[in-house]
């Protein structure tokens, strides 16, 4: 079979000021042969930081454009599609934290489902020019595994949290727009990411920052829930590979071949910190506290990524040991970033800049 080589000129990235979106935009502009422009639309929720891309904006001039837009606002989004003659979409924007979805699912339904619907409708309206709509999704749509087995692209959807249910709904809409209208789509379902720019509510950055501050490290339940960790740049390379070369209408599972129980991840974070920034007294492992379990907590995620490996020649490059150490070093060096994302003053600054 001849290899697909998609050419995209005006690429809309949604949620580009979040963790993976930021890494993706930097990756595409700095490390690929893409020579078009990227238009980043982001609502700037608590999780979005336009400053992440300030250096990118300086370096790439009009090849990088930022628009503060809520994907739930159809008319605002339509103006962006028209103004920049969008021919391709990479859709990251989402409410992304499971614990928040348990406390307040409403925003997840709006952004993850209705926001995706708006994007699909606008993509359909310019289908004659559309090269690709890529949807970034999660392995959590498949539900929970027992001790054995792996998620494949054929695993039935069984989402257990409001977050994963909303992502599952968006995946189904993307699939339906391909089957019904022939929209050129691809989907990737990836395991847990970690790396620079991750908001410190997710396990790894939360543990790094709490441990640095000498605060308790809350491990849910018995700490034996298993996640498959992938370094964020490996995920970005997988998404770009699928966008450039993946078969239209296909989904691809992406994983790190790195299953770990949470407690072992937290212990590794403590050990790296003890080495890089030693403290007098006991190890930071002493800060670990087992706390009440998350409701509906999925026990184990594990990905079979043989499809993307065999058909598109993608495999993860970073090992967990090197990736985690790089990540810890990044948080140690980026104290200003951490202070800003954690402070209310930063929210007020964003409001003043973009309203
Ligand atoms: P994140 O929470 O760090 O970033 C989300 C971004 O979307 C933020 O910049 C936020 O401001 C923006 N956003 C939220 N609502 C919006 C709206 N209504 N309109 C416009 N922008 C909005 O999330 P992330 O971890 O970078 O995840 C990005 C995508 O990747 C999500 O779709 C998520 O489901 C998926 N994913 C994440 C992981 C992971 O481990 N983090 C793994 C697999 C898939
Ligand atoms: P998280 O980073 O929230 O990702 P997800 O729920 O999408 O997998 O959590 C990763 C794992 O770590 C998950 O099993 C829940 C657990 N966890 C804790 O034990 N303590 C915490 O404080 C957090 C945020 C997560």
Is domain 10-197+231-257+300-317+346-353 given the CATH code 3.40.50.300 in the classification? Answer: no
Amino acid 342: pLDDT: 86
- The finding on whether 209 has its CB within 6 A of some atom of ligand 2 is no
Length of the chain: 355
Which residue has the least CA distance to atom 7 on ligand 2? 98
Angle value at C-alpha 262, between 260 and 268, nearest 5 degrees = 80
For the full predicted model, state whether its pTM sits above 0.95.
yes
- Top mutation candidate among 198, 262, 266, 288 for ligand 2, by most atoms within 8 Å of CB: 262
* C-alpha torsion sign, points 143, 148, 153, 156: negative
Amino acid 344: pLDDT: 73
Q: How many CB atoms lie within 10 A of CB 153?
A: 16
- Top mutation candidate among 220, 259, 324 for ligand 2, by most atoms within 8 Å of CB: 220
Measured between alpha carbons, how far is 27 from 18 in angstroms, rounded to an integer?
Answer: 14
Catalytic residue among 139, 228, 298, 318: 139
Beta bridge pairs of residue 151: 303
* C-alpha torsion sign, points 51, 55, 61, 64: negative
- The finding on whether 225 has its CB within 6 A of some atom of ligand 2 is yes
Answer yes or no: are the C-beta atoms of 236 and 23 closer than 8 Å.
yes
Angle value at C-alpha 229, between 46 and 100, nearest 5 degrees = 30
Answer yes or no: are the C-beta atoms of 85 and 129 closer than 8 Å.
yes
Give the residue carrying structure tokens 């605002």.
76
Catalytic residue among 70, 87, 140, 259: 140
- Top mutation candidate among 19, 89, 97 for ligand 1, by most atoms within 8 Å of CB: 19
Measured between alpha carbons, how far is 283 from 280 in angstroms, rounded to an integer?
Answer: 9
Q: Where are the beta strands (DSSP E) in 92-162?
A: 132-138
- The finding on whether 111 has its CB within 6 A of some atom of ligand 1 is yes
Answer yes or no: are the C-beta atoms of 31 and 6 closer than 8 Å.
no
Amino acid 348: pLDDT: 72
Work out whether strand 226-228 and strand 259-261 pair parallel, antiparallel, or are unpaired: antiparallel
C-alpha R_g of the chain: 20
- The finding on whether 138 has its CB within 6 A of some atom of ligand 1 is yes
Q: 298: which 2 tokens? A: 């999925």
Whether 293 is catalytic is: no
pLDDT per residue, tens digit, the chain (355 aa), is: 678 999 999 999 999 999 999 999 999 999 999 999 999 999 999 999 999 999 999 999 999 999 999 999 999 999 999 999 999 999 999 999 999 999 999 999 999 999 999 999 999 999 999 999 999 999 999 999 999 999 999 999 999 999 999 999 999 999 999 999 999 999 999 999 999 999 999 999 999 999 999 999 999 999 999 999 999 999 999 999 999 999 999 999 999 999 999 999 999 999 999 999 999 989 999 999 999 999 999 999 999 999 999 999 999 999 999 999 999 999 999 999 999 888 876 677 667 776 6
Atom of ligand 2 nearest to the CA of 163: 7
What 3-state class would DSSP assign to 226?
strand
Whether 231 is catalytic is: no
Which residue has the least CA distance to atom 5 on ligand 2? 98
Alpha helices in 12-161 (DSSP H): 19-31, 54-60, 74-83, 98-103, 106-108, 116-125
Atom of ligand 1 nearest to the CA of 93: 7
What 3-state class would DSSP assign to 39?
strand
Whether 139 is catalytic is: yes
């Amino acid at each position: 079979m001849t290899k697909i080589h998609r050419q995209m000129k005006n690429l809309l990235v949604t949620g580009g000021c979040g963790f993976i979106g930021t890494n993706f935009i930097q990756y595409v502009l700095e490390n690929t042969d893409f020579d078009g422009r990227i238009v980043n639309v982001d609502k700037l929720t608590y999780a979005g930081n336009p400053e992440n891309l300030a250096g990118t904006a300086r370096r790439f001039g009009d090849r990088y454009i930022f628009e503060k837009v809520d994907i739930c606002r159809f008319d605002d989004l339509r103006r962006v599609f028209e103004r920049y003659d969008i021919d391709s979409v990479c859709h990251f924007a989402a409410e992304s934290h499971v614990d928040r979805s348990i406390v307040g699912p409403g925003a997840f339904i709006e952004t993850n489902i209705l926001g995706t619907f708006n994007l699909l409708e606008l993509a359909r309206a310019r289908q004659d020019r559309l090269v690709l709509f890529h949807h970034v999704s999660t392995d959590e749509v498949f539900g929970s595994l027992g001790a054995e087995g792996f998620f494949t692209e054929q695993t039935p959807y069984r989402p257990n949290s409001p977050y994963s249910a909303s992502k599952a709904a968006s995946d189904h809409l993307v699939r339906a727009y391909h089957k019904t209208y022939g929209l050129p789509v691809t989907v990737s379902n990836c395991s847990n990411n970690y790396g620079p720019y991750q908001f410190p509510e997710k396990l790894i950055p939360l543990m790094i920052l709490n441990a640095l501050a000498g605060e308790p490290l809350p491990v849910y339940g018995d700490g034996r829930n298993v996640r498959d960790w992938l370094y964020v740049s490996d995920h970005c390379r997988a998404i770009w590979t699928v966008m450039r070369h993946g078969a239209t209408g296909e989904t691809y599972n992406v994983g790190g071949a790195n299953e770990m129980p949470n407690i072992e991840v937290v212990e590794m974070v403590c050990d790296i910190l003890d080495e890089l920034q030693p403290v007098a007294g006991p190890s930071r492992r002493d800060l670990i506290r087992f706390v009440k379990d998350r409701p509906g907590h999925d026990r184990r995620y594990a990905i079979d990524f043989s499809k993307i490996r065999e058909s598109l020649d993608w495999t993860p490059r970073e090992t967990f040991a090197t990736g985690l150490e790089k990540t810890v070093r990044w948080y140690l060096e980026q104290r200003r970033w951490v202070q800003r994302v954690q402070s209310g003053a930063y929210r007020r600054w964003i409001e003043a800049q973009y309203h």
